[in-house]
Amino acid sequence: MRLILLGPPGAGKGTQAQRLVAKYGIVQLSTGDMLRAAVKAGTPVGKQVQDIMARGALCPDDLVVAIVGARIEEPDARKGFILDGFPRTVPQAAALDRLLADKKLNLDAVIELKVDEDALIRRIESRIAEMRARGEALREDDSPEVLHKRLKAFRELTAPLIAYYRDHGTLRSVDGMASIEEVAAQIERALPKEAPKQAPQQPSKPAARSAGSTGQMGAQMAAEIGKKSRTRTAKPRPGAAKPGRK
């Protein structure tokens, strides 16, 4: 099973992905986690993207497409995967389509977690305040200011993906403001009863074209992070049991 979870920051994509991983034995591929791992490790690419991530901006397409292309080749992703945080833009979605077509694969569904943005902001600001009160560590991008920038980026760049996947017939929408259990039940009902067969074989395009122009920096990213993320699945931060938290 191959899925995409769509929704703004804090919509609960990570929480729902973990449930799907446990139920179906597939892997969660979070580009955010893989990029943060590179930052924490202090790799050359990690240093390049650290400031971008801290500002809540989007990383270059060639980096993200390269890391995804390398990661889905790993043995643990053969049974299926959930993409969390990718694609973020329509050009990335088109690059993913080409990437999967070259590998003779199809997406089974794109799940949109619909949320009320004002309520989401209040929820996340409250969570951040609680974590600070408990003395828990926050990520660099855990701040109300960065959250507002990420939501703005989502509206401008990622929201058009909803129309893109609706036109492709793969979009399924659920109420992301419901409880964690109810959101999970809605997702289960939205999944196809039988996964579609693999795409018919087509002449393969050169790998560099199928994933967009990955370039030298993209290749470096795949080499540095592909191995580190082979067995990685995202773990919820403290407080993840709260409804809708990513």
| Active-site residue set | 13, 88, 127, 139, 150
DSSP result, 208-223: HHHT---HHHHHHHHH
What's the CA angle centered on 118, arms 112 and 121, to 5 degrees? 85
> Which own/partner pairs from 233-238 qualify as long-range (CB within 8 Å, at least 24 positions apart)?
233/18, 233/21, 233/27, 233/28, 234/14, 234/17, 234/18, 234/28, 234/30, 234/33, 234/84, 236/14, 236/15, 236/18, 237/131, 237/136, 238/131, 238/134, 238/136
